[in-house]
Structure 1
Amino acid sequence: MSPAHLGPTPGFLVWRLSMKWRVAVDRAVAPLGLTHAQYSLVASLYGMRRSGERPSQRRLADHTGLEPLYVSKLARALEAAGLLQRTRDPRDPRAVQLALTEQGEDVTRRAIEVIHGLLEQLLEPLGGLDGPRTREFTRDLMSLLDAPLDPSTQQPRT
Structure 2
Amino acid sequence: MSKGSPGPTPGFLVWRLANKWRVAVDRAVAPLGLTHAQYSLVASLYGMHRTGDRPSQRQLADHTGMEALYVSKLARTLEAAGLIDRARDPRDPRAVQLALTEQGQAVTRQAIEVVQNLLRQLLEPLGGLDAPRTRAFTDELTALLDVPLAPSSAPTDERTKGTPP
Distance change in 2, residues 1:2/1:140 (3 Å): farther
Instruction: Tell me the equivalent position of 1:73.
Output: 73
* 2:114 matches 1:109: no
Runs of 4+ deviating beyond 2 Å: 149-152, 154-158
**CA RMSD of the aligned region, Å?**
1.4
Q: Provide the rounded CA distance (Å) in 2 between the counterparts of 1:145 and 1:63.
A: 12
Deviation at 1:150, TM superposition (A): 2.6
Deviation at 1:36, TM superposition (A): 0.5
Could you tell which deviates more after superposition, 48-57 or 141-150? 141-150
In the alignment of these two chains, the number of paired residues is 156
TM normalised by structure 2 equals 0.90
TM normalised by structure 1 equals 0.94
- Structure 2 SS opposite 1:55: coil
Gaps of 5+ in 1: none
Distance change in 2, residues 1:128/1:90 (3 Å): same
Q: Deviations over 1:133-156 (max 9, x none)?
A: 10110010000000123336x644
Give the partner amino acid of 2:75.
A
- Structure 2 SS opposite 1:151: coil
Give the partner amino acid of 1:101.
T
Q: Percent identity?
A: 77
Instruction: Tell me the equivalent position of 2:160.
Output: none
| Higher helix proportion | 1
Gaps of 5+ in 2: 158-165
Deviation at 1:157, TM superposition (A): 6.1
